[in-house]
Amino acid sequence: MDIQKRLGAEAFGTFWLVLGGCGTAIFAAGVPDVGVGFLGVALAFGLTVVTMAYAVGHISGGHFNPAVTVGLLVSGRFDKKDALPYILAQVIGAVLAGAVLYLIANGQDGFEIDNSLPGAFAANGYGDLSPGGYGLVAALVAEVVLTAFFLIVILGATAKRAVPAMGGLAIGLALTLIHLISIPITNTSVNPARSTSQALFAGGDFIPQLWLFWVAPIAGAALGAIAYKALLEDPQEHETLAEGQ
């Protein structure tokens, strides 16, 4: 598949993930009486991945996440020459979605982002910016471990002997579960592009905390890929998730 189409698919997919997941958190989670709460936000993130996995996953492999791209690279399922372009496309898609969310939110009378509050504009944080008041170490451990298992699910669900039609659903449900676990801890990242988009618009101390939401997911993805290859992978399995590799 042409690289430009693959990059476009990654940008569209990441845009949809941020628009759907973070948009639900911003607009629908806390609405009195009818708000969807943590469960709704978790489902929204999972649904964005499910829908885009089937819509454009056959074009780009459906990463929508720099950590996933790094994990697939470490696992041997992705060509290193395309890793940086994929990551750039994902970040661009995420930031554009953040801009759309900001424009929509700004249409409400009295709209203002209070970046002293945890989860402001669906941003990720730890310490005073953690929804549950969890510190740096807890946030770091949660993001590393959950991203590692996310990669294990992705690699297993897309393996040669797996059921191909169910891969997108399994991955989306895994992301839903991850959010159910970690929204109270960090507001759930496991995706540096998603964290970057929201931190840029939230501002304040979310910016200096952004490093964790790059380092921890990428480290977790690499560890998950290494663990899968060492302990679970069929030695004859070397199928790539991105077409044309």
* Residue range of the domain that includes 129: 3-109+118-231
Helix and strand tally (H, E) in the chain? 9, 0
**Residue ranges with strand state E in the chain:** none
Q: Each residue of 178-226: pLDDT tens digit?
A: 999 999 999 999 999 999 999 999 999 999 999 999 999 999 999 999 9
Q: Each residue of 148-157: pLDDT tens digit?
A: 999 999 999 9
* C-alpha dihedral, 220 to 175 to 228 to 213, nearest 10°: -10
Of 171, 29, 10, the closest CA to residue 94 belongs to 10
Q: What is the largest CA-CA distance in the chain?
A: 59
Query: How many domains is the chain partitioned into structurally?
Result: 1
> Residue 220: inside a domain, yes or no?
yes
> Residue 243: inside a domain, yes or no?
no
The predicted structure's pLDDT at residue 165: 85
> Residue 86: inside a domain, yes or no?
yes
The residue with tokens 């579960």 is 177
> Residue 244: inside a domain, yes or no?
no
> Residue 208: inside a domain, yes or no?
yes
Q: Each residue of 27-44: pLDDT tens digit?
A: 999 888 778 999 999 999
> Residue 242: inside a domain, yes or no?
no
Measured in degrees and rounded to the nearest 5, phi and psi for residue 238 equal -140, 35
> Residue 80: inside a domain, yes or no?
yes
The predicted structure's pLDDT at residue 159: 93
CATH code for position 40: 1.20.1080.10
Q: CA separation (Å) from 191 to 33, 35, 203, 222, 239?
A: 30, 25, 18, 13, 23
> Residue 83: inside a domain, yes or no?
yes
Q: Each residue of 122-157: pLDDT tens digit?
A: 999 999 999 999 999 999 999 999 999 999 999 999
**Whether 101 contacts 190, CB under 8 Å:** no
